Amino acid sequence: MIIVTGGAGLIGSAVVHRLNQLGREDILVVDHLEHSDKWRNLAPLRFMDYMEKDDFEARLDAGSLQRKPLRGAGGVEAVLHLGACSATTETDASYLAKNNFEYTRKLALVALETNARFIYASSAATYGNGENGFEDEEQDLPRLRPLNAYGYSKQLFDLWALRHGLLGKIAGLKYFNVFGPNEQHKGEMRSLVLKAYEQIMESGTLRLFKSHRPDYADGEQVRDFIYVMDAAAATVHFLINRQANGIFNIGGGGTVSWNRLATAVFSAMGRPVNIHYIDMPESIRDTYQYRTCAETAKLRAAGFSEEISTVEEGVRDYIQNYLMPGKRLGGLGWFSGTVEAFKKQRIWHTRRFYEDTISAPRFPPWKRGVSIPPQLLPAEAGAGVVVDHAHRLHEGIADGAANKGKAAPPQVAAYAIGERGTGRHLR
């Protein structure tokens, strides 16, 4: 069994969705649904059980992690601890210390005691204003100075794990600015993409904070954005690769200005760009981050090789395939926009697209070279697809002349989409 805390949240539900696409349903989702509509994020997902956070913590205290039914027939394989209070404006430091630090510490110790893989969400907020850089090296942790109580509550656990020698046994993921489906419940903490979409739908304009520093023009403050699909893929990478331990940045690895992000939103909505700059509230001016940028070399060195979508690709997919049709992640939602091109079938053994066989523009980057669900076989309308163990693409079946006869990695079963529906075996 895989335990996912915060499983109804933005990143948590995307991770559960990713696990579903890999054929995993032996999942215990832990969250606190309260009066929000966060439950809607769970409705399309497949998991074995749900438990409220307080009930789960009580069972944790009672030692129930080692016993059925919490344990499940196969035992607890991993704990993906993604639940937290993520409000950067929260001022109750005692609450944050208890909820974000003490709870994480307790869960980490139980996971290690039961030999379960432990992966937890840290945060880019631990980097503060960035004066000490954004490198995810463990020896740099004591030098970081978060700007708010939320960031400090996250750093508390990073430092505790470091000082107790546990970072060589667990993985801490510092998520940067994540956006995407299933964030409607986040209130003021929802991404600018969603806020911008709502503002533009209502008034046709978008309000952005003015810069209060002479070295940044209005709207040219920059962040490192990452689409939630990519963040989920990186998270599951550490579930599969247990030898990859330590602190890792989860971000796009580059900077994007608010103006560029806003332009991407207007473009995805088919609207002309119309931005109004407003004064930043004095209450946040002193703690406002003007630049974040994830150093991702360590993530890549840990074996994560999937392509990260650009902000334009992520925004377009989010708005056109989720916000506009009012969809949530789940079911066939990952393949949103091309669901009609898929049919339920059993596939053979390996479940990976051969990266160069999918070239149509509507197939986004996270669809190339990533695992697909065990019950889905991709097929264009009228096109035949045959899966084989062969290590080469049969000439003429690949989608486009550039792919003909290309060698596929031995461990990968190629899925070729034939333009003329030849249906020939790959050999």
Annotated binding residues for substrate: 177, 188, 195, 209-212, 223, 288
Nearest to 134 by CA among 248, 301, 257: 248
Q: How far is CA 61 from CA 23, 58, 110, 156, 335, in A?
A: 31, 5, 9, 21, 40
Active site residue 186: yes
Tell me which residue has tokens 């998270």: 235
Structure tokens that stand for 394 in this block: 């049969």
Contact 342, 325 (CB under 8 A): no
Q: Which residues are annotated as a binding site for NADP(+)?
A: 10-11, 31-32, 38, 53, 82-86, 99, 154, 178, 186
Q: Which residue out of 169, 186, 327, 406 is catalytically annotated?
A: 186
Active site residue 197: no
Q: What is the CA radius of gyration of the chain?
A: 22
Q: Which residue out of 50, 120, 127, 150 is catalytically annotated?
A: 150
Residue 66 has a CB neighbour count (10 Å cut-off) of: 12
List the catalytic residues.
Answer: 150, 186
